[in-house]
Amino acid sequence: MTVSSDLRTMKEPGTGTDSSKVPAGLDAKVEARLRGMSLEDKVGQVFMFGFPGKDPENARPLIEDLRAGGIIYFARNTGPVGEVAALSATLQEIALRSGPGIPLFISADQEGGIVCRLTEGFPVMPGHMALAAAGGPGLVEKVAEAIGTGLRAAGINMNLAPVLDVNDNPDNPVIGIRSFGSSPERVAELGAAYARGLRESGVIPVGKHFPGHGNTSVDSHLNLPVLPHSWDRLERVELFPFRRVISGGLECIMSAHVLFEALDPDRPATLSPKVLVGLLREKIGFSGLIMTDCLEMDAISEYYSGTVRGAVEAFKAGADVLLISHTFEMQKEAYMALCSAVRSGEVPQSRLDESVSRILKLKYLFSIPNPLEPEAFPLNNWDEYRNLSAQAHRDSITVVKDERGVVPLKPGARILLVTPDGAQRLQMEDPARPGTTAGTPLGNALRSKGFVVRERTYSTCEIPGAVDEHYMIVVTEGATRNPAQAAFVGRVRGLSLQSPAPGTVSGSRGQAISVILVAAREPYDISLFPEVGTYICTYGSRPESMEALSQILAGKCVARGKLPVELE
């Protein structure tokens, strides 16, 4: 009997992992299953692999030959929900008919906002910081449950979220608006709500990035971040959300490729037994799955023996699931390297059994593969979630300053809209799809509200020059970290400082043109233009955020968002 057929008799999908619903005799079932698995079967279970494209044949060698226990999707693998569901079903069928016959974890980064893999046919929800601006744990839980429903409809049973990093560093290039904010207590409260929502939908939540990536100024995709914080600081800030969410029940945690000098001065968290076992397992008491961030990231591949050896070292350090997202050669070599390490005794067989037991147990508890069948929730019936997405985006818009009472704008007003020449994307984001930059969606949304909009990019904006509008809206996307954007904002600031009316620039006929600065990423961009009279934060540049902003500017609704971070 396969694991999956056992699973379907154990638990109703969507009921999470409440201990009262854990089936009797689960440990015995897992032990019996382990006894029937070869070493190669067991090693395969601890790997989660990515593959190119949408053809399931590209993933077949990973599942049949390397006996993968998990697959991760990126935008390259996804499309409309029904299409992804068909891909997921095929991959699960391959898994059930090959190797040990154990169904797959199928995961994705569906945080909301700028980090979403599933965007076609299902409404994209706001990201973490936008949700923190929009409301409390009730809203966050509801949004996370909606996200989980969409994932399960696509055959995805694990979400690599919530982000539990405390973003209190304005220079952070990789977390930023992916965090719930700068308050450890608030991050803990909303992170726990997000995990509950996913669990209620039947999707496994994964808290990340332990012990905390929020105060770094280096992206671990590109380099090795090093944090010199004291143990006291780590306890008060970085570790606080993880402790709180773990205490409420959390099934899986992803490690950070960050070196914490106070915890282990020699190895980043992903490769450190002191962090994964000494701190996370023994001191904090976490008993769930520990997953690595992708081992192809430069913080591991360029600094510590490379991806292949890094996989073995991460497993020895205490990781249960090893994530390698892109390169087949590295995936195969890492699988073979771990097999060899177990055969040689470098990795004890008992250590391997320990991780595989955790993996099997979680697959039992969530009835993996656990897809949401189309007849249970028609794939085109997303109106409730579209409305939820629209309302949450509207509630997130934060008018930080409006000293001259500019908002809402005058009906039918002329607007000069200036946007960056190219969207700034994090390494975590997929390549831009049509309609994901800030300018055109906002311009079109404003036109639909009756405004006359002239659009320019920073490099084509003719200021000072023939400007004859009532308002000038300058959109930034992480300008504090982008010299070109900072230079343009500085230019506008210089014109404003010369203008007789604060927060304005002079038009072609000497009239005062009100300047509105819109931070479409992190809220910190006001530091470049502290005198601006009107400052608005959207926490994202997707069309959903721009439509919400246009409704605020047009007076269709009132801005309710509150800043989730502190601004100097």
| Residues known to be catalytic | 221, 293
Residue recorded with tokens 């801005």 = 559
Q: Which of 175, 110, 213, 177 is nearest to 521 (CA)?
A: 177
Q: Report the alpha-carbon distance of residue 548 to residue 19 in Å, rounded.
A: 41
The Cα 518–Cα 419 span in angstroms is: 10
Q: CA 139, CA 309: separation in Å to the nearest integer?
A: 43
The residues facing 350 across adjacent strands are none
**568: which residues sit within 8 A by CB, 6+ positions away?**
527
Q: Exposed (0-12), middle (13-18) or buried (19+): which is 138, by Cβ within 10 Å?
A: exposed
Beta bridge partners of 324: 49
DSSP state of 115: B
211, 263 contact by CB (below 8 A): yes
Beta sheet of 47-49, edge-to-edge order: 289-291, 252-255, 204-210, 158-159, 105-108, 70-73, 47-49, 322-324
Q: Choose among 216, 213, 194, 214: nearest CA to 205.
A: 194
**How many Å apart are CA 278 and CA 248, to the nearest integer?**
21
Burial of 560 (0-12, 13-18, 19+ CB in 10 A): middle
Q: Identify the residue whose tokens are 């990126």.
A: 74
Residues sharing a CB contact under 8 Å with residue 233, sequence separation 6 or more, in sequence order:
none
Tokens 């008919």 sit on residue:
97
Cα-based angle 21, 24, 29 (whole degrees, multiple of 5) = 120
Q: Residue 457: beta bridge partners? A: 419
Going by C-alpha positions, the residue among 166, 311, 320 that lies closest to residue 253 is 320
Residues 493, 534 contacting (CB under 8 angstroms)? no
